Structures are given as C-alpha cells and as structure tokens.
Structure 1
C-alpha cells in the first residue's frame, strides 16, 4: 500500500483511504495500550473510519467519493491523526519527570507486553 497525500486518481484515493483507516486503528490502540487519553475519539472502521472532537462535538469521516473537496477533508483527517500522534509522544516524554529524551521514550515502549503489541496488528474479519 502506498500513501498519496494528494491523490491524482481513484486508485490513489482508495489507497489513501485505506492508509488513514489503518492509521486510525493503530493510533487508537496505541493510546489505549499506553493509557493516554486523546483529545479526539477515534472510530476505526477501515476506510470508513471517523474522528470526533471531545471538545466541540465535531466529527470528520474518511469520505468515499473521489473529488477535490473530499481530498481536502482527508488531508484535514490526516492532520488530526498527526496531532494525536504528537499528543501521545508528548505525553510519554512529559511523564519522565524532566528527563524528556529518546532513551526514556524507548524504555517506556519496551515495557509494553506482547499481547498488547499484537493488538496493534489489524486482523481481517
């Protein structure tokens, strides 16, 4: 699967949808496993995933139709996922009592058990 931030055709658009759906699942599960609440509620449903803000009750979903306005919506959706990822990273680094560095971050990640890690891998149902 390839990721196209600005898809030029239907195939690239569908690959972007699939990628964002997978990223939604992965980020939500990582948040759950690490116990870090996100400012958004992520609803992973493959290419039909959606995100709802906890603050303003606004939702954005991965659109199904290939057109320019929907590409903009998908780019906005992507930015929310990036913000959620940054939130997770910042939360992990802030927990380290002033020692915010990569070794501390990696140490925290190495304490995740194999069962929790396996839940990050999406399964076909």
Structure 2
C-alpha cells in the first residue's frame, strides 16, 4: 500500500537514502529539515507516518514528538524515531516523548522498510 510519509531529518545524505528506499517501495515522501518545519508540514499534510530524527537543530526530536502528539489530528499517526542515539534509555526516552517506535542509525537498507512496516502498520496506533 502506498502511503504518504513525512521525513523530518536535517542530514541531506540520510534524507536521500531514506527517501530513495521509501520511494522504491511506492511511498510518497515529503521532507522537512527541522522540527518547526516538520510540525507545520505534519499539520497540513496529515501523513500516514512520520519518521523523526532526534538530533535536530534548534528543537530536538523529543520536543517535536511531544508537539506532534499535542495536535489532535496527529495523535494516532505513527511516529518512528530514526536516530543515532543508541545508548541505554534512548529508546525509552523516544517512546515516552510520543514515538511509536525506534530505529537506530545507521539504517540497514535491506531491513529499513520492513522495520518501518512492522512498527508503524502491524501494531495498533499509539493512543
């Protein structure tokens, strides 16, 4: 199924790779390069899924996730943290901020799409 996916990622190479992989699978990808632009895009776009980098300039991904969850129409939208933060507790911090799931960077191009689909579309949406 083709879905609209919002990718909030400041690193150009990471945006390129994720977009390439998702578009190869038939998804439509809209990118935002920082948290404020991502929140605005999400409110307008109403995407099927949000992929969120945690280490963003000016507003970190945790704050972005909380802001997205405060928007009524986005409360059930899956948000997956895609981040290089891989220390003990980082996954839990992402989930506590409102993310549905967590994928560590660097992403594995061979499993990235299946991980996203497993996290975002196989489980019930977040409350």
Which TM-score applies when normalising by structure 2?
A: 0.27
Larger radius of gyration: 1
Higher strand share: 2
Higher helix share: 1
Which TM-score applies when normalising by structure 1?
A: 0.28
